[in-house]
Every structure is written in C-alpha cells, then in structure tokens.
Amino acid sequence: MISVTEAKHIISTTVTALHPVTVPLLQARGKVLAADIVATVDIPAFPQSAMDGYAFAFDDIQKELIIEGEMAAGSSSTVEVTTGKAIRIFTGAPVPAGADTVVMQEKVRTENGVLLIDDDKLQRHSNLRPVGSEIKAGELALPKGGILTAAAIGFLAGIGVTVVSVIPDPVISIILTGNELQEPGKPLLYGQVYESNSFGLTAALESLHLSVHRIYKAEDDPEILTAILQQALNESDLVLLTGGVSVGDYDFVLQAANTCGVLQQFHKVKQRPGKPLFFGTKDNKLVFGLPGNPSSVLTCFYEYVTEALSLQTKRPLQLKTVQTVLAKDCIKPPGLTHFQKAYYDGEKVLPLTAQESYKLNSFATANCLLVLDGENDEYKTNDPVTIHLLPA
C-alpha cells in the first residue's frame, strides 16, 4: 500500500489536460479558455454617447445653442454639429462629427428650440465614450487559462466573438459491478442490495457541472467485465468502476484492466474508507476502480477523482481545504489516514456517527470530510485538524 500523499502525487504527475476543442460561445460557460483572444475591432467602433441628452462642441458651452435634429442608438446618419448648434442624442448613439461633449438631459433647459446648459461641472468629453475606450483592435481581450464566466461570455459577444477554444468536459462512464445489485424501485430479493453508487456519483458529478455519458452494468464475470471496460475506454476520457476492486474470488477489475491494456498507477492506499482504491491509465484515458461500499465510493470520488478532474479540465474541482479544531475527542486505529464524515459549523468540526463504509446515512448530513492523519490515533477536543468541504 501507498500513503494518501503518494497516491495524490501520482495523480498530479500523471493526469494531463484534455485536448482543446472549439465550441460556440454559448457552450463555453464555466470552461477554461485554451487560447488567447485578441480583439479584431475597436469597441466602441465610434464615439458613443453615454447618456440621454444633447451633443455639442464644448467651445460653445456659454452660448445659447439651437437644437437641430436628433441621433438615436443604431443610427447610421452622418449628421455634423456646427458652431452654435446642438443635437438631441440618446444613450449608445453615435456622437456626430463636430460635437465633443454630451450634456445629460437633467442638466439643461429648452426654450423654443434653444438649449440652455445648467451644469457647472461639465467638462470637455463628458458623457462621451471614445473609439476603442473598452478595447482596441489588436489588444488582448482575454488570456488563455481563465474560466469563462457569464460576464466573460457577454464581453466576448460584445467584441464580436462567436466561437472559442476551450478545455472540454471529459466524457465520463460508470461501470457498476456486482450480481447482488438491484435497481431501486424493484422488489428486493434475499441477498440483494439496492444499487445507489450510480446515483451518488451522477449527483456528485452534476454538482461539479459535469455529466455522465453512460452507465454500464457488468456481471461478476471477467470476460463480460473486460468487454464492457474496453467499450467504455473506447468512448470515454474517464471510467469509474464501482466494486470488484479487491482480491476476492469475484473481484475482476484488476484482471479486466490489465487485459484492456490499462497501466496500473497504484492499487491500495493506506486509508479508511477506500483502502482497495485502484488508479490506472491507458494513453490519456483514466480508470478509477472504486470500492463497492457506497461511503467508500463517494469518499474516493471526492478525495481522488476530483483531483484528476481538476487536472483534466484545468478547473478547481477538488474539495476546498479548511483548517479548524475538533468539537469533541476522537479516537481511531493508527496506521491509516481516516476520512470521516463530519459537520463543520464555521468554528469547529464534529465527527458524525455511522462511519462504516457501507453506511450513507451520516454522509447524507455531512458537509465535510474530516482528515485524520495516519500516524496519530487519538485527538482531543480543540485539537487542530484539516477538513475538506463537500460541495452542496
């Protein structure tokens, strides 16, 4: 067995980002930009009014200005403002030639077609957006490596971008193993258990804004499992298997992975739950063999698979780490790192009951995993500890 630190180091040095793809702008939200984007036009492309008001030449500010015409947003008119004249203008409209200032409509009076300005703080170029004041053609709009937020999508649309190069979401498949599994909602026969791992994993992935491509069910048969794993590898970037990863007579994941050419990176970690965890690679495809017990599955997903997903997508998908203190004494066997289901109230962390790997009832109310180091066996109230916050 290897330590938790060693296992995570192997993942961090093995997993690489997925190859960039070009997608329509509206499909890029939340993804990482894979190439710099340079503006191809000035924005705005013309002097633009920032207010509803009147455009005029600032040198005429002391004069009574004759209002002559108007300019609305979207107008392509080539009107020119001459000396002693002003033009009614609206927000977003082109400021006509000859005008260099816009006075807002609340700061004027109009009498018989004459404009009287009442704004002693008005300056030349007030309320006017110069050409290229947001960005100029040839300037860097957004650098690669940033996450495309809603504002970033809007900004890119505003400079005329329609497609972008991004790091895609991985294609993810789940393989359920175990003859004892029964679909929820159907009668539970003697010896059967309801299958819950696909539900938990799917929901966990959705909380990261990722989706499952396909869920396979494999009987406890090495040839069947090998065929399904090969199919999943053919169409997936990441394959998650649940169960069959130990060394029992009906555990065939290691055999199937080897037959499919998956290179074992590690198998078995000094931890609880999830000691039999398997991680392997085939080219740039990843395979995680997760233990079958539901609590082990989710713990290993949150602690290891999210690390791999972060590297594949270049997005921060791993659990957030917080330093806090214990709310009560805690004892564990030495030698293994424990990931205990716990509740963090913002000040202290409370280990929950039902820590067994087959139980999900306490996991259902936990909001963090309490990390208890492998070398220590006894923790006291108010001892400093590390927790990993679970996504909602």
Q: Is residue 381 within 8 Å of residue 347, measured between CB atoms? A: no
Domain with CATH 2.170.190.11 in the chain: 48-129
Please give the CATH superfamily to which domain 4-19+169-313 belongs: MoaB/Mog-like domain (3.40.980.10)
pLDDT attached to residue 49:
97
Phi then psi for residue 250, to 5 deg, are -115, 20
CATH architecture of the domain 320-389 equals Beta Barrel (2.40)
* Enclosing H/E stretch for 351: strand 348-351
pLDDT attached to residue 319:
97
- Residue carrying structure tokens 């630190």: 5
337 burial type by CB count under 10 A (0-12 exposed, 13-18 middle, 19+ buried): buried
Phi then psi for residue 107, to 5 deg, are -110, 25
pLDDT attached to residue 52:
98
Q: Given 3.40.50.970, 2.60.40.1180, 3.90.105.10, 3.40.50.150, which CATH number is that of 21-41+136-167?
A: 3.90.105.10
CATH architecture of the domain 48-129 equals Beta Complex (2.170)
Euclidean distance between CA atoms 188 and 112, whole angstroms: 88
Domain with CATH 2.40.340.10 in the chain: 320-389
pLDDT attached to residue 51:
96
Which two tokens mark 166?
A: 């991004």
Q: Which of 141, 108, 91, 145 is nearest to 316 (CA)?
A: 145
pLDDT attached to residue 250:
67
Q: What percent of the chain has pLDDT over 70?
A: 99
Euclidean distance between CA atoms 30 and 315, whole angstroms: 9
pLDDT attached to residue 376:
86
Distance between terminal CA atoms of the chain? 32
* Enclosing H/E stretch for 385: strand 384-389
Low-confidence spans in the chain with pLDDT less than 70: 249-250
Q: What pTM does this model have?
A: 0.89
Q: Tell me the sheet residues that pair with 278.
A: 267, 289
Domain with CATH 3.40.980.10 in the chain: 4-19+169-313
Euclidean distance between CA atoms 88 and 102, whole angstroms: 9
Q: Tell me the sheet residues that pair with 77.
A: none
